[in-house]
Structure 1
């Protein structure tokens, strides 16, 4: 099968400053794509750009839980590169604990970033795809917590991930006829700083069994490199060392 060449394609990535988002950005830099990178921390994007001199990058300090942030990221991609081909919606918030463990602001942060943020980014991208009239790609980083009953300390987080998966499945019915592919990548545990201090610790021995951010970045690149006649609706990923 002939892989789609990503050289010169324009891809927006949310949460690009660390973890899966940063690994995905680096994988796509390797593929010679042009990237609009969004993250809440501008300094993390600057550091990424400094490590990849010569890469075609636009940097946007943004709050992924707001419509304004999503709109500015897509606008930056178009302003810098002329159009948008794909968006990787990766930014997420996770606190692990029981339903009574978290305050209003923490629960709101999970729902706002993971659910509303997914919708804002999707809407901004689809509007641009429709204006261009040639389709595009939406790659959504969800979680296996959104596919079935999760661990007992993940109820709120899992609810947001179930929302993402359900949103994507129905969205695909809406936009596939317009040439827009919707792909969900649903990893199990990944060794990042995600949820450190709110359910995970840096010295947790289980971290060694988890997947690495580069594993998920591999999946991101793979679904984007599929010929346009194909689409991957859902890719569930597990480490061989982790019990399903």
Structure 2
């Protein structure tokens, strides 16, 4: 190597790659969709709020984004994610599971109904689309699954026990899937950010005017990590990526 020459690992191009993103109408899912499209990917954007999905298609173009109104708790709708990708774009290469919600609060805070919805959404709402994607990727000889979890799934804080339990489940799912599917060409990554300035952070425990929100990670920061994982050459995989803002103590 010539002195001073830099050796750079290659990245996979995501141009024309077909990627399903759940939770695509806001926060990390929305930022991820926008970034993928900017790189030339084609995205099936899935979320409950059909009006937001329609606006996203108008913004980014129907040649690049296909909307899929989707309730992650509805098991029977999960296969439709893959079917939509194949029908519109001809294939499906990756799944990014961003859908979820939570709340700060002790074990006795919030109603039983709220906690049940959070548990079903964060755990079942990850398992069902992953199962649909795995069936397809096994037929195609490989693919990528990225699960957006949280650092709460590694060391739950003192005011988020139930939420943390759902994130522990996501991290465990990703790790077990990696060990199950690696030899079949399917890469599974868990992205675990700390606090992110999203509607979730504002809506449950903080107000929109809280100046501390600006010091948190931004949705685009997490989106960049997701894209980085997808761009990695097929010989390597990232199983777990934790992300912290400079303002937070790990």
TM-score by length of 1: 0.96
Matching residue of 1:168: 174
Unaligned segments of structure 1, at least 5 residues:
none
Q: How far 1:183 moved relative to its partner?
A: 0.5
CA shift, 1:233, in A, is 0.4
Query: Partner residue of 1:75?
Result: 83
Q: Distance in 1 between matches of 2:63 and 2:28?
A: 19
- Segments of 5+ residues of structure 2 without an aligned counterpart are 1-8
Q: Which has the larger Rg? A: 2
C-alpha distance in 1 between matches for 2:90 and 2:61? 21
Aligned residues of 2:57 and 2:66 also touching (Cα < 8 A): no
Q: What residue in structure 2 maps to residue 115 of structure 1? A: 123
* Aligned-partner Cα distance in 1 for 2:109–2:18: 41
Provide Cα deviations, 1:54-74, integer angstroms capped at 9, x if missing partner: 641111000012212322111
Alignment of 1:149-188 (within 5 A): 150-188=156-194
Q: Is the 8 A contact 1:97 1:153 kept in 2?
A: yes
Q: Secondary structure at the match of 1:196?
A: helix
Moved more, 21-30 or 67-76: 67-76
Alignment partner of 2:202: what SS?
A: coil
70-79 vs 33-42, greater mean Cα deviation:
70-79
CA distance, structure 2, for counterparts of residue 143 and residue 197 of structure 1:
17
Equivalent residue number for residue 198 of structure 2: 192
The alpha-carbon deviation at position 49 of structure 1 amounts to 1.5
Residues 116-155 of structure 1 mapped to structure 2, 5 A cutoff: 116-132=124-140, 134-148=141-155, 150-155=156-161
Distance 1:195 1:14 in 2: 18
User: 1, 12, 18: which one pairs with 1:10?
Assistant: 18
User: Residues 45 and 59 of structure 1 are in contact (CA less than 8 Å); yes or no, is this contact kept in structure 2?
Assistant: yes
Q: CA RMSD in A?
A: 1.2
Partner of 2:245: 239
**Structure 1 residue 205: Cα displacement:** 2.3
Q: Is the 8 A contact 1:65 1:114 kept in 2?
A: no
